[in-house]
Amino acid sequence: MLDQNDRPTPWTILESKTRVKDKWINLRTDKCQATNGDIVEPYHVLEYGNWVNVVPFCADSMELILVDEYRHGIGMPVLGLCGGAVDKEDGTDPQIAAEAAAIREMREETGHQVSLAACVLKSMPNPALQNNWVYCFVAFDAQNVGAPSFDEGHGEFCVTVKRNLIDVLTQISSGELQMPAMHVAALWSAAQFILKSDTLPQSAVPLRDDLKRYLLG
């Protein structure tokens, strides 16, 4: 049940069928044999493309740019980060395509543009049921260049919200603010990047000082 590196060995897929497939999702159902001999069926896997989210700060004020958007899965509006799916048009190299997607999604959802974004986290949204990755970016030079351009035909509508990063982290920690788990991970990864980066822009130095005071007292 362990491989040569003492890691659990993969299951064997005995049968696999596609149940639902469209531009957004591929639902696959497998019949598997676990390494202890158990037959596991049905086992449903959601095949998605990679996702991105971005932690952007206004170039002048260093305010965090968030979006307030209705989320149908939970049936309520949710305050969170800009983000979405990586499209084919974003490129073929996963990392480069993810950065392009993050910059594009922020422009589309908030009307803000950045020239560069740094990847602070690559993680698995739900590896038990999904096969994709999510890339998280941070950007410090966000400029408002116009109105958002929402995807037509998909009900997309976002309200741009600007908040102080320390206030957001405090409210998440206290339970006053609930965000998607991937967004919380991205925010704390961005905070770590801000604290440790050797290439932090001068405009973000006060933000780093605020983080130090918040975390260390």
Q: What is the per-residue pLDDT for 62?
A: 95
pLDDT for res 167? 98
Output the pLDDT for position 206.
95
- Hey, what are 170's tokens? 């405090």
Q: Looking at residue 3, what is its pLDDT?
A: 86
Measure the CA–CA gap between 30 and 92, rounded to whole angstroms.
Answer: 28
**Residues whose CB falls within 8 Å of the CB of residue 2, separated by 6 or more in sequence, listed in order:** 8, 9
85, burial (CB in 10 Å: exposed 0-12, middle 13-18, buried 19+): middle
Give the helix ranges, DSSP H, for the chain: 94-110, 165-174, 181-196, 205-216
Task: Specify the 3-state DSSP secondary structure of 17.
Answer: strand
Mean pLDDT per segment of 10 residues, for the chain of length 217 residues? 89 97 93 96 96 96 97 96 95 95 96 94 97 97 94 89 98 97 97 95 94 91
